[in-house]
Structure 1
Amino acid sequence: MVEGGRRAAFMQGIHDGVPIALGYFVVSFTLGILAGTAGLSPVQGFVASWLNFASAGEYAGFTSIAAHVPYAEIAALTLVANIRYMLMSAALSQRFAPDTPFLHRLAVTLGVSDEIFGITVARGGCVEPFYNYGALAISLPAWSVGTALGVAAGDVLPAAALSALSVALYGMFIWVVIPPARTSRIIGGLVLTSFLLSFAAAHAPLVSALSGGTRTIILTLLIAGAAAALFPVRGEEDGDA
């Protein structure tokens, strides 16, 4: 009965992960083109996506590699870009059944992405590790293969096509930002503030001398810290009080 339940959960995870995998393939393909311009091979692009599994982190990493920034800065920038997954993992850790082995808890949190976190939470109840394994089994290969194919395509596609696909990557990030910015004045204001401060930092006498990655780290920490202090997210218990 237990094995049958695990198999059913695994297959349901694959089923729910198919649309995620299709979206991942398209996005990672454009990331692969960026990785190719940074000098990565298809194999290196595949490994980078397999180990990172995060669009913002990989974008930060690939652009930093292209700019020949130090390894320590790449690591710090990737950490800042991906730090939200620590919060997602912490949230999931509260939803495991008490008897869930530690290795299953660790494996699930290692495969957390925005979309997989979303379908896990939407499923309700305790986290079933094999459901996440199913979603990861279909989405992670699609993400990694898409990156590798994007790197390979960068060697054969004409320059005009590469330029168009590179613009599509920025469109993806705009698509991530615009919907929440339209529904929340706070988020919209923070996005606008980020744009303005990023522009100002790129032209300020002292700050502009820093690398782009260092400026991104500083601005992310300052803006996120100020937002958390000025506009804290109220928990459910606050709403019930």
Structure 2
Amino acid sequence: MVHVNIAIDGPAGAGKSTAAKGVAKRLGLKYIDTGAMYRAITWKGILKGIDFEKSREIELLTSNTVINIKKGSDDSNRIYLDGVDVTTEIRDPSVNRKVSLVAKNQQVRDMMVAQQREIASGGGIVMDGRDIGTHVLPGAHFKFFINATLEERAHRRYLELTKQGHEISEEDVQKEISMRDKIDTEREFSPLVAAKDAIFVDTTNLTAREVEEKIVIHVKECIQAGTA
């Protein structure tokens, strides 16, 4: 497979991470979950008891944090925070409620984006997030924007959390996602928005496999046609 870079953006619960993992595996590319990097900072902030309303506290925390993404035995990303595997911990609902406050901080984004661009510099990357096609990798060979209705996204996240053993109502999940949408789309720096040249994929009535298939087919057709 040609070493192309693929950017997949979208809001919480749209299915971008699932699609990105599947696409990377089928095309022989490396998958990078940028959201996990912000989640790791958030998790550390929760453990340290910082005030997430104070930008300076978040910035100091980030500047003294080392995040590494390694490949697990099942080819999935394993997230290491200061040398400790926190892949499971960063999916805790408490992180969901604070992560957008971290992600909207410009200095934090600058530090994270620098790492993300370095990772992608050699090509062969599928990277998902909220500003990959617009800011992190504006020159990506392929850009996709994945979305679904708020109700469907909340239902998916609710099923995911309850499967993991978390006790939370679907109504609360929907409220949290709605708030994250508001913060992500209205933030001053690199807001959540589709790149002008991104291909839009509505996943509301599609299975994860169908979403993955749409992306893979498009990429392969473009590469075969020499338009990638």
TM-score range, shorter chain: under 0.3
Return the TM-score normalized by structure 1: 0.27
For the pair shown, which has the larger CA radius of gyration, 1 or 2?
1
